[in-house]
Structure 1
Amino acid sequence: MSHFVDLILPLPLEKRFTYSITYEEAQFIKKGMRLAVQFGKNRIYTGIVADIHQNPPEVYEAKPIHQILDEKPLITREQLKFWEWISQYYLCAEGDVMRAALPGAFLLESESVVKLSKDVDIEDVILNDEEYLVIEALQRQSSMKIQEIESLLDRKKVLPVINKLVEKQLVDLNQEIYEQFKPKEERYVKLNPAYEAESEMHRILDELSRAPKQREVLLTYFSLTARSKKPLKVKTLVKEAGASSAIVKGLLNKKILVEFYEEIDRVQFQGDIGNHEIKLNEFQQKTFEEVKTNFEEDKVCLLHGVTSSGKTEIYIRLIEEVVNQGKQALYLLPEIALTTQLIRRLQDYFGEKVVVYHSKYSVNERVEVFKHVRENDQKGKIVIGARSCIFLPFKNLGLIVVDEEHESTFKQFDPAPRYHARDAAVVLANLFQAQIILGSATPSIESYFNANHSKYALVELKRRFGNVHMPEVEVVDIKTAHRKKKMKGHFSERLIEEIRASLMEQEQVILFQNRRGFSPILECNTCGHSPQCPNCDVSLTYHSHNNQLRCHYCGYHIAMQHQCMACSSSEISTKGFGTEQVEAELKALFPKHKIARMDQDTTRGKHAYEKIIEAFENHETDILVGTQMLTKGLDFRKVSLVGIMNADNLLNFPDFRAHERSFQLMLQVAGRAGRTQKRGKVLIQSYNPNHQIIQQVSTGDYEAMYKEQLEERYQYQYPPYYRLIRLTVKCRDFSKTNEAAQWLAMALENVFDRNVLGPEFPPVARIRNEYYKNILIKIPVKQSLGKTKQVIHRVLNSYKAIGAFRSARVIVNVDPQ
């Protein structure tokens, strides 16, 4: 009887592919293992075993597998189920999910390698210039990868050149597999066992009297190993002896010392576990008990706690209980910036049980975390990180904490799978029968709606920790201030006055402007021209630190222009302002104070967040200017004033969630103020101070915002009353984008009638020279979500069969944020 395996390949394929295996292989292979298989003509990929069976494929003949890469499953059964759910719910291929879920090191892929054929006489063969270049390079090095030949010839399509050389039997084309993960090893030394007897030690020291430096190193070795019985690192020995590694090498050559290597973790906890007992106040204790009661009823729990009410302490207590039961806990955060502060707090309680996982980690570091979690060892008990953490191979998950659950950064935009980590975490918790708590000071309308309709349990914590008052919010009318000439740059007199007062009292200030760069628009005062990105439909943003005009969509940049590119006039002015300009104005206003900026430009490195946050915590910085990175859950003790530079550019955004988002963002940033006994102050600068959202922020009235937004959503048929699926057609050809989108919209309207909106160009209709057009499908509550997706699937299959639209790709986004 033949045996077969169904594999998930890391490619956007709709179906799993079936390969044949022998009876012996079938006894060894288990679901979740990796196999290397040939796919296509001669490419080798890593596939994950999703099923083992005895049914041959109907359409094609199953190929045999290339090799087995694992001794035990890399992926758990729960993970495979989770991948399948994500692929079905978010309408994407399982291969896309696999690419997102596994660190790159696990995805072995073959790379074509070109080698010179043996016994080749090149003298008699006629070669053109490019062929000669390749042969000459191969005579100097044994083999070259395709990418290396591309850069050598400075052209993308090199396969025709290589194929000609293969035909002339000058080169061989091999497929080689690369294992990318390399464990980090530390070099140690120990005394050769032959010299361990005391008499031998004295003899060897006498012999080394002519080599005083080596003798010194050996004596240092003895004194260090006498103190601690642990193996000795070469680095430590060299440092303590004040010698060079060459002297140690001399001792190794004489076989007095023997070297060996041990694998170590790249990410290690250094420090002591604090002896902290979490003391909850009466309100926290009451909330904690309520959460526990709801967990007993297996409910998803929404914790609505005002900023600085001590939600983190409650999470830590819940994690502690789960870890004591031998289970794992997952702590999800929307931003990497947030992990920095929280890691320290969690490591204070749990030490090395806490591991961190996010995109700023290298491939090798991610592999190590992946392995700790899969083994469920002491280091993988508590995982903290951003949205990709939900894909880790948990063995025994007991609790998921989704902090700041309202954040839009939990949604993955590109590439597929376009999942929402909060919603996916609810499903993951259900798979493991684990408890899940969603926490926020400003819950998303959907979550709050679910809580009010008994789908989730709602627990509220309305008081700040230590009975600290909520900050006082003041709205400054900058329209009037401009008219009365009471503005200095982008600062109202009121804001400058408050900043000065805070700095006088040795307190810190946070200023929020949700736009990076110096100025978003450069405009000619003579002809009105402003430089545009040649690849995208946006104006270039001026960045003063490197004197560049830069596109925030594709990265295109040019030097700052001092003359208009259209009329050559030198009268150029900037319109609008970003964090860089706020920083520059502050330096002019407060030259004696230390000012820092936190945005995408200043946090590119792996530890950049940590450095900025640490400097601010240690009061090395007086004023911190930043984008929305500042708004989320950071806890600074000495901030007495928060300034929102311009509330209007948040509100005037073409999106049904704009008002909800503005409220959340402003209330969150306001929550950074006055987190100790002294009451904090928040100043909101606006041209429209009577806007209902700004008024609701000033009173901190979440309920009023929720009711008002819910009424609007009901009226205009948006979530939580209707589900949304957005289809985006993208293509380099403008007219083809229009035709394809029109065809798709017509096909969908035939089924869904009035519930299809569009096709419509988004606010930025061209990015990287590709045109975008959106179609929005609204799904009423009573309409089956599963059947709707089946219909969309059928329509997309018909669309793909039309040859004229082949270059126009369709991107499906379920529950777009």
Structure 2
Amino acid sequence: MPFFIEVVLPLSLPKPFTYAVNEAEYAFLQTGMRVAVPFGRNKIYTGLVLTKHQTPPQLYEAKDIHQILDDFPLVTQTQLDHWQWIASYYMCSLGEVYKSAMPGAFLLESETLITSRPDFNAENEQLSDDEYLVYEALQTQSALKVQEVVSILNKKTILPVINRLIAKNAISLQEEINEKYKPKTIRYIRLQGEFLKQEQLSELMEVLSRAQKQRDAVMQFFQLQASVKKPITAKILTEAGVTAAVIKALVDKNIFEEYYLEEDRIQFDNATNTGFGLSPKQQQAFNEIKTSFEQKDVTLLHGITSSGKTEIYIKLIEEFIATGRQVLYLLPEIALTTQLVVRLTAYFGNQVAVFHSKYSNNERVETWQQVLAGSEKAKVVIGARSALFLPFEDLGLIVIDEEHEQTFKQVDPAPRYHARDAAIVLANLHKAKVLLGSATPGIETYYNATHGKYGYVTLRERFGNVTPPEIILIDIKDKYKRKRMTGHFSDEMIDAITETLYNGKQVILFQNRRGFSPWVECMTCGHVPQCPQCDVSLTYYKYKNALRCHYCGYNIANPTNCHKCHSTDLNTKGFGTEQIEMELKSLFPNKNSWRMDQDTTRGKHGYEKIIDSFKNKEIDILVGTQMLAKGLHFDNVGMVGILNADNMLFQPDFRAFERAYQMMVQVAGRAGRKGDRGKVFIQTYNPLHNVIQQVTTNDYEGMYKEQLYERHNFKYPPFYRLIRITLKHRDYEKLKDSALWLYNVLSQNLGIPVLGPEEPGINRIRNEYIRTIMVKIPSAGNSLGATKKAIEKILGSFEAVPQYRPVRVTINADPY
């Protein structure tokens, strides 16, 4: 009797495929195990078993599987249920969710590139014959495909060999980012063991009687040891007057011994962190959250910036892990995990695991297995949105910090899910609770909280009764007129930075554009260099003296003359973080300025390097993009400056005002978090603009009511759900025809508002023209599922039209 399994492949396929297995394999296999299967022409993929059955497929002959890759399921049934929901709600295939959810090392396929690791020493490791053959092949060529390994070993079952080599750190998959950052090591000095006895010590002094400086150094060492009562660092010795040359001479003579210890760059004192108590207001909020969880599964904690929300999360996490359940702590930005990991490990020790995309394959696989096993090492998982896909056994609580952040929404590739909404569904499957925290909640979240769908708790005073920062508006239109601007800084801003630095405080400056200038313009004919593949101007980077496209990565050297009229009169327009950093270096040459944006934080420890330096007061002025606005905690920031508030306000997006308000309030919240009252300076051409006035008075309610009124009038969330359909093709006319056909069919069949087809602001990327269609579905009523099915059916008939088949269609549900 034949035996079959349903296998999902990590590809965008509408349904799983059936493969044949023998009786022994059928008995051994379980849902959630991985199998290596052939698919298409000579390609191997890592598939996931969904179900077992004995019904042969009707339309094709079932192929045999190559091999079983696991001894036990790697994916739980709850995970599969969650993936099915994501696939159906966000209108993508289960294969795309599977590919996005699994760490790359679990998804080897015939096209995967394998490279050898330079730090691996084959002599120290026991390699089997097969492993050595692969290792040897990599010594003669830079990379191998999995398919090439099959021919080297002359066998089909090669995935276990590759997995063993990965585990031994002999090879890495794809191009993992090379690490330029090393953990911080501190150099310590101690006396060689033989000199610790009294008699040897007098001998030593005798030996050193002629080397006075070395003798003094040893005496100094003893004095320090008696007074400091902890290991002596080389730095302490040099500060006490012992030169590096004398230390080296004593090390060479085997009198001193040097040793190194790794040390965290951010140190937290136990007094402030591990044994903290909640303030009365925090305690009250904490009790209200627990009461709210009795009635509601989801609660919103609306606490102003620096009100101490993290301490409340920690106390709540403590209660949940005491009952033996797991906790997931989601953050919008990898930069935030750096600070938080230290705070949580100071409190929970080794029970904290971290999971995000800057971690290597090995590290992600390790965390996956710890979570699956319910290990003590992964009681609390901190991560960015991808941590949502981990195989939790018994999830009790999900904390979503800064829940309003747009980075919780995955843009490309599919699944285009929103981590906040998907986390609420995951919690529901585990019968867990969800706490959403924010100083500026998303309008939909606040609407749900005030309309009884979620619980609602507020925290309206800053921790330690610190006064909220004073917000000062600077009208730069007036400043330019009066010639009181130096570069992009008004005289008022320069004075404020000078005063803050003089008082020993640090400064954060915010400009949400990276690069030096957004574009370069010819002053003779007005020509602006454009990207040849995208409909966008090239950004100028002074440091590299190059022009770069932020959409496709195209770059050219900075032109010396205009490409159109050959004039040499070229000028840069607008300004980004790189230009601000340069201006600061000329305005404050004696101060250390640094910038934090996507260009300076590449690599796993890119964020840590900058955040640690700022925390340790090595950086005086930090310039950055929106990364800076996300819940980072620095004690010594006296002032925050927003260099141009207007470029956030005037975006072609119905959320522009909400986002601008959130961004400015969050950036302002970095100031004056301890002790003195902080100051926030906002440079703007429109000081009377409603949103800027609401930021000044911290009037969230006013902004919310105003935006809600507009949303209701123009049929936007929370009153309507949006689905954006994007069409892309290289042929402009073909795209235009196909978009019009799709729009007409949708608007005739759906009976709800359909907008489009429109050209977005940037209507060509990587040589593909773009058209978008927006479908608005009323939130009231139960038409969401039926409408999505109708849209999928219409897209099915769209693909059946031969001339429209080459047009690429992507669907984005809730395009936040």
User: Do both share a fold (TM > 0.5)?
Assistant: yes
Contact 1:357 1:385 in 2 (8 A): yes
In 2, Cα distance between equivalents of 1:597 and 1:477: 25
Give, in angstroms, the shift of residue 741 of structure 1. Answer: 1.0
Shift, 1:810, TM fit: 0.2
Any idea what SS the aligned residue of 2:672 has? coil
Structure 2 match to 1:123 = none
Answer yes or no: is the 8 Å Cα contact 2:138–2:144 preserved in 1.
no
Deviations 1:8-28 (A, max 9, x none): 111111111112223322221
Q: Which residue of 2 aligns with 1:799?
A: 798
Aligned to 1:30: 30
Q: After superposition, what is the alpha-carbon deviation per residue over 1:269-316, rounded to whole angstroms, capped at 9, x for unaligned?
A: 999995722300000000000111111224201110000000000000
Q: Which of 489, 511, 514 in structure 1 is aligned with 2:487?
A: 489
- State the match for 1:65 in structure 2: 65
Corresponding position of 2:643: 645
Change (3 A) 1:143 1:696: closer
Distance 1:390 1:334 in 2: 12
Give distance in 2, aligned partners of 1:31 and 1:783: 32
* Structure 2 counterpart SS, 1:331: strand
| Secondary structure, aligned partner of 1:684 | strand
Secondary structure in 2 matching 1:665: helix
Q: Distance in 2 between matches of 1:746 and 1:144?
A: 58
Partner of 2:808: 809
Contact 1:564 1:570 in 2 (8 A): yes
Q: SS of 2:562's equivalent? A: coil
User: CA offset at residue 44 of structure 1?
Assistant: 1.9
From 429, 440, 443, the equivalent of 1:442 is: 440
8 Å CA contact retained: 1:278, 1:317: no
| CA–CA distance in structure 2, aligned partners of residues 76 and 794 of structure 1 | 31
* Residue of 360, 379, 383 corresponding to 1:362: 360
Q: Which amino acid aligns with 2:493?
A: L
Listed as ranges, the matches of 1:250-649 within 5 Å are 274=270, 276-649=274-647
Work out the CA distance in 2 between the residues paired with 1:149 and 1:466.
Answer: 58
Contact persistence 2:298–2:435 (CA under 8 A): yes
2:11 maps to what in 1? 11
Aligned residue number for residue 92 of structure 1: 92
Which region of structure 1 is more displaced relative to structure 2, 462-471 or 750-759?
750-759
Distance 1:784 1:753, change over 3 A: closer
Measured after TM superposition, the shift of residue 733 of structure 1 is: 1.4
The alpha carbon displacement at 1:753 in A equals 4.0
Helix, strand or coil at the partner of 1:105:
helix
Distance change in 2, residues 1:40/1:460 (3 Å): same
CA distance 1:270–1:507, change in 2 (3 Å): closer
Paired amino acid for 1:309: S
1:639 positional shift: 0.6
Q: 1:582 to 1:144 in 2, by over 3 A?
A: closer
- Aligned match of 2:698 in 700, 710, 733? 700
Unmatched tracts of structure 1, length 5 or more: 114-139, 151-158, 163-169, 188-240, 243-267
Aligned to 2:682: 684
Cα shift readout 1:670-695 (whole Å, capped 9, x = no counterpart): 00001112111101100011000000
Name the structure 1 match of 2:707: 709
Which among 703, 716, 719 is matched to residue 718 of structure 1? 716
State whether residues 111 and 146 of structure 1, in contact with CA within 8 Å, keep that contact through their aligned partners in structure 2: no
AA aligned opposite 2:732: F
Find the aligned partners of 2:323 and 2:329 in 1 and give their Cα distance: 17
Partner of 2:743: 745
> 1:648 and 1:370, CA in 2 relative to 1: closer, same or farther beyond 3 A?
same
In the alignment, the residues of structure 1 paired with residue 21 and residue 777 of structure 2 have an alpha-carbon distance, to the nearest angstrom, of 44
Listed one character per residue, the Cα deviations across residues 466-510 of structure 1 (whole Å, up to 9, x for unaligned) are 011110111110001111111111111111111111011011110
Whether the 8 Å contact between 1:111 and 1:175 is mirrored in structure 2 is: no
AA of the residue aligned to 1:178: L
Q: Is the 8 A contact 2:641 2:681 kept in 1?
A: yes
Q: How does 1:48-63 map to 2 (within 5 A)?
A: 48-63=48-63
TM-score in terms of structure 2 length? 0.82
Residues 512-552 of structure 1: CA deviation (Å, up to 9, x unaligned): 00000000011111100011111111111110111111111
Q: Does 36-45 or 499-508 show the bigger shift?
A: 36-45
1:178 match = 159
SS in 1 for 2:397: strand
Determine if contact 1:637/1:674 at 8 Å carries over to the other structure. yes
**CA distance in structure 2 between the partners assigned to 1:38 and 1:648 by the alignment:** 55
Q: Decide whether the 8 Å contact of 1:109 with 1:178 is kept in 2.
A: no
In the other structure, the counterpart of 1:785 is: 784
* 1:64/1:359 CA distance change after superposition, 3 Å: same
Amino acid at match of 1:18: T
What is the distance in 1 between the residues matched to 2:768 and 2:154? 35
Q: Deviations over 1:541-599 (max 9, x none)?
A: 11011111111111111111121111111111111000011111111111111101000
Structure 2 residue 88 is the aligned partner of structure 1 residue 107: no
Question: Alignment identity in percent?
Answer: 57
Flag the 1:592–1:746 CA change in 2: closer, same or farther, 3 A: same
> Are residues 149 and 677 of structure 1, via their aligned partners in 2, closer, same or farther at CA, if it must alter by over 3 Å?
closer
Q: Distance in 2 between matches of 1:186 and 1:109?
A: 19
Decide whether aligned partners of structure 1 residues 58 and 149 sit closer, same or farther in structure 2, where only a CA change above 3 A counts.
closer
**How far apart are 1:752 and its partner, in Å?**
2.2
Cα separation, 2, equivalents of 1:92 and 1:710: 30
The whole-number CA distance in structure 2 between the counterparts of 1:660 and 1:527 is 38
Pairwise CA RMSD: 2.8
- Name the counterpart of 2:256: none
- Aligned with 2:755 (options 747, 754, 757): 757
> Alpha-carbon deviations, 1:607-637, whole Å to 9, x = none?
1110101111111111000000000000010
Q: Distance in 2 between matches of 1:773 and 1:360?
A: 33
Give the match's secondary structure for 1:653: coil
Give the distance between the partners of 1:379 and 1:742, measured in 2 at CA: 55
Shift of 1:68: 1.2
Work out whether residues 302 and 457 of structure 1, in 8 Å CA contact, stay in contact via their aligned partners in 2. yes
The secondary structure found in structure 2 opposite 1:110 is: coil
**Offset at 1:750?**
1.1
- Deviation string for 1:643-674 (max 9, x for gaps)? 00000000010000000000000000000001
SS of the equivalent of 2:472 reads strand
Q: Measure how far apart 1:54 and its partner are.
A: 2.7
Moved more, 290-299 or 741-750: 290-299
Counterparts of 1:810 and 1:715, CA distance in 2: 30
Is the 2:266–2:342 Cα contact (8 Å) retained in structure 1?
no
| CA contact 1:749–1:755 (8 Å) conserved in 2 | yes
- CA distance 1:148–1:370, change in 2 (3 Å): closer
1:640/1:674 contact within 8 Å kept: yes
In the aligned structure 1, how far is the partner of 2:717 from the partner of 2:154? 55
Q: Contact 1:429–1:436 (CA<8 Å) still a contact in 2?
A: yes
TM-score by length of 1: 0.82
> Partner of 1:670 in structure 2?
668
Where does structure 2 lack aligned partners over 5 or more consecutive residues? 114-135, 171-250, 253-263
Q: Does the aligned pair in 2 maintain the 1:387–1:421 contact within 8 Å? A: yes
Is the 8 Å Cα contact of residues 729 and 770 (structure 2) preserved in structure 1? yes
